[in-house]
Amino acid sequence: MKITTLKKLNLSLISILQFSLWVIIFLVYLLSVKPSDIVVFLNVGQGDAILIQKGEIQLLVDGGNGKEILYELPKYMPFYDRHIEYLLLTHPHDDHLVGLLHVLESYDIGEILYYPVCYENNNYETLLSNSTKKRGVSAGDTISLDSLEIDIIWPREGDSTAENCIKSWNGNINNDSLVLQFEYLNKKFILMGDAEKEVESILISEGVVSGKYDILKAGHHCSKTSNSETFLKVITPGYAICSCGEGNKFGHPSSETLNIFDSLAVQYLVTYEQGNIQIK
């Protein structure tokens, strides 16, 4: 004979109510995420990932080095939106690339934009194997998100090799990073990828950059190989974003770079300290 006590019934009822409450909270959370005009520098550890969203149109610039990107995107994209118009890889280092492979597995993607530099990396080859969606871009190209136009200002297209890729500009793949600039949300942005001081010098000398920028995605995770004082004095950013992971082996952000920011009154924000950094 089975005997059920009142205490057991109460515990079962409490469990059902607790589960129901969590379901309701989860549904409210999902329904509360609505498409918005936003730029978010995502906290994905030691790497870069930037979501540019205009309504329900998205450009994801880089994806970090792991699956963290999959936990961050739903905070800004409605749960029913499983389509991302553009993925853009600034350059084929894993801390920018690997997360994009996870995004490809989880979302429907319109186009993969990249600079077709020659570089041996298995993950890079995997990304490019999606041949129906990839498109090479370089300085002079523009990405349109409805009325928002994002200009690519570096690198200039170089010489193709027999392998149908483009030879690295100076042998340093960081300096083959796609650099983007655009005006959005009443602010002027420049995203430097991992481009270093040599690229900064060319952008200055050729007058590609000028005037005040409100938001700088600092080059190379705020390392000392980028973000020269000369460059910062020309673009006079209001804020600099350092995208990096806590306790990383590279020492990012560099104390030397942070001191330059301080000396020029540039306010800097670090993703591992601030979490996702939203510009609305």
Residue type, 51: L
**Domain enclosing residue 202, as ranges:** 7-279
Q: How far apart are CA 116 and CA 124, in angstroms?
A: 10
> What is the biggest distance separating any 2 CA atoms in the chain, rounded to whole angstroms?
90
Residue 71 lies in a domain: yes
- Tell which phi-psi region holds residue 150, choosing left (phi > 0), alpha (psi between -120 and 50) or beta: beta
pTM of this prediction exceeds 0.85: yes
Q: What is the pLDDT, as a whole number, of residue 200? A: 98
User: Please, is 36 exposed, middle or buried when counting C-beta atoms within 10 Å of its C-beta (0-12, 13-18, 19+)?
Assistant: middle
Query: Is the Cβ–Cβ distance between 63 and 96 less than 8 Å?
Result: yes
CATH number of the structural domain spanning residue 174: 3.60.15.10
Residue 27 lies in a domain: yes
Q: What is the pLDDT, as a whole number, of residue 35? A: 72
For 213, the 3-state DSSP assignment is coil
Residue 1 lies in a domain: no
User: Please, is 248 exposed, middle or buried when counting C-beta atoms within 10 Å of its C-beta (0-12, 13-18, 19+)?
Assistant: middle
Residue 2 lies in a domain: no
Q: Specify the residue for token string 């020269």.
A: 228
Give the closest residue to 74 by CA, choosing from 279, 280, 276. Answer: 276
Q: Which residues pair with 279 in a beta bridge?
A: 39
Give the closest residue to 217 by CA, choosing from 169, 268, 150. Answer: 268
Edge-to-edge strands of the sheet including 108-114?
A: 134-136, 108-114, 83-89, 57-61, 50-54, 38-41, 277-279
Q: How many domains does the chain have?
A: 1
pLDDT digits (tens, 9 = 90+) for 153-196: 999 999 888 788 999 999 999 999 999 999 999 999 999 999 99
Inter-CA distances, 227 with 31, 201, 254, Å: 41, 10, 10
Q: How far apart are CA 65 and CA 97, in angstroms?
A: 6
Segment among 17-21, 95-99, 219-223 with least mean pLDDT: 17-21
Percent of the chain at pLDDT above 90? 82
Q: Specify the residue for token string 């350059």.
A: 91
pLDDT above 60: residue 1: no
Query: Is the Cβ–Cβ distance between 41 and 271 less than 8 Å?
Result: yes
Q: What is the pLDDT, as a whole number, of residue 41? A: 98
Q: How far apart are CA 229 and CA 115, in angstroms?
A: 27
pLDDT above 50: residue 104: yes
All residues at 6 or more sequence positions from 105 whose CB lies less than 8 Å from its CB, including other chains: none
pLDDT digits (tens, 9 = 90+) for 21-37: 776 665 555 555 677 89
